[in-house]
Amino acid sequence: MSRTRLVIGNWKMNGSRDDNAALLRELVFEAKKYSAIEMAVCPPAVYLDGVGQQIGGSPIRLGAQDLCEQAAAGAFTGEIHGNMLKEFGCRYVLVGHSERRSLYGETDERVAQKFVTAQVCGLVPVLCLGETLADREDGSTEAVLARQLDAVVASAGIAALRDAVIAYEPVWAIGTGRTASPEQAQAAHAFLRRRLAESDAKIAGSVPLLYGGSVNAENAASLFEQPDVDGGLIGGASLKASAFLAICAAAQARNGQ
């Protein structure tokens, strides 16, 4: 089954107007070479408008790093409604990034609610999930992935996964320079697909599964060669045009296989 190949840059809390403009100038200039995949960038929310304008007319898509789980606007100081992200041209929104889970206390239930709200607002949620090092070492990787995934399926319903992306991001690999081996990534992705297939085999086969965690220009090709790895969610390496484009090139090369 052919699935969308996708490379998403998560800028995290980085950037400035000048830095963003310089990075995007290069990405926009090169983007048409990567027409066989989809490229997206997720800047901090305050930059969405400016970034959206700079990538306008290019094939690069816009995404946000988070949204408020509340479906109705109102008294939620500091939060950003999904409709606002949509208004500013976002296609994607990350939900449940490990930094949101570990630093800001987001529970599986809250992540599931964000997933649901994102879709209500017309956004494509990128559900981030992954195990900690302790989980991996005590053999509970699959149990953790199942728990995180099942919480979303229980809230949103399996059909909602038809218009979503999943990013497997082992916590121990994010920002550490310690990448999962291609075999570890494949095993986790295959598990996620099997888990979804218990509810709906067609959806399990069609949902794009991205790998994230210290992907760089050197290791991207071997990760993307895995049959169940459909692209990447890229943190640090998305801040440098040459590295991000090399990762896009690796995804595009995989597309022809």
Name the residues annotated as catalytic. 97, 169
| Distance, CA of 248 to CA of 6 (rounded, Å) | 8
For residues 153-172, which are near ligand PEP according to CB under 6 A?
A: 169
- Binding to ligand PEP by CB under 6 A, coded x per residue (else -) over 182-221, reads ------------------------------xxxx------
Q: Is 174 near ligand PEP (CB under 6 A)?
A: yes
- Give the per-residue SS3 of 94-117: EECCHHHHHHCCCCHHHHHHHHHH
Q: Is 236 near ligand PEP (CB under 6 A)?
A: yes
Contacts of 92 (CB under 8 A, 6+ apart): 8, 40, 42, 61, 62, 63, 64, 123, 124, 125, 126, 165
Q: Is 234 near ligand PEP (CB under 6 A)?
A: yes
Q: Is 23 near ligand PEP (CB under 6 A)?
A: no
- Give the three-class secondary structure for 218: coil
Q: Is 104 near ligand PEP (CB under 6 A)?
A: no
Q: Where do the H-state alpha helices sit in 104-200?
A: 108-120, 133-137, 141-156, 182-197
How many residues touch ligand PEP under the rule CB under 6 A: the total is 14
Chain centroid, CA 112 distance in Å? 15
Burial class (CB in 10 A: 0-12, 13-18, 19+), 237: buried
Chain centroid, CA 75 distance in Å? 28
Instruction: Name residue, tokens 């169940």.
Output: 228
CB of 128 or CB of 152, closer to ligand PEP: 128
CB of 153 or CB of 215, closer to ligand PEP: 215
CB of 82 or CB of 235, closer to ligand PEP: 235
Give the burial string for 82-107 (b: 16+ CB within 10 Å, else e): bbbbbebbbebbbbbbbbbbeeeebe
Stretch that binds ligand PEP, among 76-84, 103-111, 141-149, 234-242 (CB under 6 A): 234-242
Residue 246: both structure tokens together: 């090399």
Residue number of the CB atom closest to ligand PEP: 235
CB of 208 or CB of 213, closer to ligand PEP: 213
CB of 125 or CB of 236, closer to ligand PEP: 236
Q: Is 130 near ligand PEP (CB under 6 A)?
A: no
Q: Please select the residue that binds ligand PEP; options are 235, 245, 254, 255, rule is CB under 6 A.
A: 235
Q: Where does this chain bind ligand PEP (CB under 6 A)?
A: 10, 12, 169, 174-175, 212-215, 233-237
